[in-house]
Structure 1
Amino acid sequence: MNNMEYLLRNVDELWNKYTKHEFVVRMRNGSLPLDVFRYYLIQDAKYVEDMLKSLLSALSKGPIDKVMRILNVIITTRDKGLETNSKLYTRLNISREEIVKTGYNLVNYAYTRHLYYYANMGWNEFLVAVTPCMFGYSIIGEYVLETPHEIYKLWASFYASDEYKKRVEAILSALNEIEINDNLIKIFINSVRFEIGFWDSSLRKDPTVY
């Protein structure tokens, strides 16, 4: 059993609540309102920027071979993600200025601070904190790709792509080299809870607070 499998056994039913959340299911069947998805995209853009900053901080604490592989994969697959986001932002009339000016909702703010905290704590802690997002979205992307909705299919096309899978493989390879303990399991579980909360707050279109 690898570390990812072990962590998933410990997270139990929460993983399904995350990867088959109502938000995800409604993207898949095409019933998710576009204004809800637009709200999510803006919050997600803010999350990704902070997540990448946390990753860069954590990389300075990791083993050089794993660090270089992850950095190389992010750089070489960057264009696919940028292209997908550019198309989505154009279709939904989202500007860079709007993303910057929009505040974080409370869940997003807490989740990104969670990542910053563990990036400063250490490499192992950050890996388990970020893995639910990275690995979970590859599963969600493949699931949502079957949607009849053109916008949601476009979104899913990146997370179901070979380029994104390379990022996930690099993260999972690094994850499998560390020793999992009870503290790391708790961090992983809390990140899964944040992912569930992220979908919840997007469905509600929670007010921004920061």
Structure 2
Amino acid sequence: MDSIQYLLKGAENLWNNYVRHEFVIKMKEGTLPLDVFRYYLIQDAKYVEDMLKAVLLASSKGPIDIVTKILQAIFYSRDKGLETNKKLYSKLGITIDEIRKTGYNLVNYAYTRHLYYYANIGWNEFLVAWAPCMLGYSIIGDFVVETSHEIYKLWATFYSSQEYKRRVDAIVEALNNVNINENILNIFITSIRFEIGFWDSALRKEPTVY
């Protein structure tokens, strides 16, 4: 069994709760309120900035060939991701200044510190902590892209794209070189819990704290 299959099997129920969360279902149905999605996008922008910093930090600890392949896949699709976000921000009246001035909600703050922590511990630990976000959004993108809602379809086009799947494929390939043990599985599970919490906090539009 590949490492990624082992991890997904070990977290099966939580994983399903994450990739088919109420937030995701409502995007697919087109019933998610736009103010909730707008809140999510701002928090996600803050998450992505910290996540990329953590990737670069962890990369200094990983095998050069594997790290290079992942970074190339990320930068290859960067323009497409930025273009999608630019369109979404325009449609929802989000500015870069607003993103910078908005604080983190508690889940987002804790999740990004979780990534920084494992980026400092080691490459394998970070890779496992990062994987639920990257793999999960590919699965979610494939699901939501079938929606008839213009905004949510636009969002999903990036995560269901071949460019994004190149990132995921590189990460999964790297993960399959990781020896799985209980500690590694627990890191993976914790990140899934953070992903679920991220959806929950967006639905509630929780106050920012940092």
TM class by smaller structure: over 0.9
Please give the per-residue CA displacement for 1:83-135, whole angstroms capped at 9, x wherever unaligned: 00000000001000000000000000000000000000000100000000000
Q: Distance in 2 between matches of 1:133 and 1:152?
A: 18
Please give the per-residue CA displacement for 1:8-27, whole angstroms capped at 9, x wherever unaligned: 11102100100000000000
CA RMSD of aligned residues (A): 0.5
Query: 1:183 is matched with which residue?
Result: 183
Residue 175 of structure 1: CA displacement? 0.6
Identity %: 70
Residue 35 of structure 1: CA displacement? 0.2
Query: 2:62 is matched with which residue?
Result: 62
Query: 2:83 is matched with which residue?
Result: 83
Please give the per-residue CA displacement for 1:61-94, whole angstroms capped at 9, x wherever unaligned: 0001001101111111111100000000000010
Q: Which amino acid aligns with 1:170?
A: A
Q: Distance in 2 between matches of 1:79 and 1:130?
A: 21
Query: 2:101 is matched with which residue?
Result: 101
Query: 2:205 is matched with which residue?
Result: 205
Q: Which amino acid aligns with 1:5?
A: Q
- Paired residues for 1:25-44 under 5 Å: 25-44=25-44
Q: Distance in 2 between matches of 1:107 and 1:71?
A: 26
Q: Does 1:162 align with 2:151?
A: no
Q: Distance in 2 between matches of 1:157 and 1:77?
A: 12
Please give the per-residue CA displacement for 1:187-210, whole angstroms capped at 9, x wherever unaligned: 000000000000000000000000
Which aligned segments of 4 or more residues in structure 1 are displaced greater than 6 angstroms? none
Q: Distance in 1 between matches of 2:92 and 2:134?
A: 24
Q: Does 1:21 align with 2:21?
A: yes
Please give the per-residue CA displacement for 1:43-78, whole angstroms capped at 9, x wherever unaligned: 000000000000000000000100110111111111
Q: Distance in 2 between matches of 1:123 and 1:114?
A: 14
TM-score by length of 1: 0.99
Residue 177 of structure 1: CA displacement? 0.8
- Paired residues for 1:130-141 under 5 Å: 130-141=130-141
* Structure 1: stretches of 5+ with no match in the other structure: none
* Structure 2: stretches of 5+ with no match in the other structure: none
Residue 148 of structure 1: CA displacement? 1.0
* Secondary structure at 2:25 match in 1: helix
* Secondary structure at 1:103 match in 2: coil
Q: Distance in 2 between matches of 1:96 and 1:52?
A: 17
Equivalent residue pairs, number: 210
Q: Distance in 2 between matches of 1:32 and 1:39?
A: 12
Q: Distance in 1 between matches of 2:88 and 2:44?
A: 13
**Further displaced range: 186-195 or 68-77:** 68-77
Query: 2:50 is matched with which residue?
Result: 50
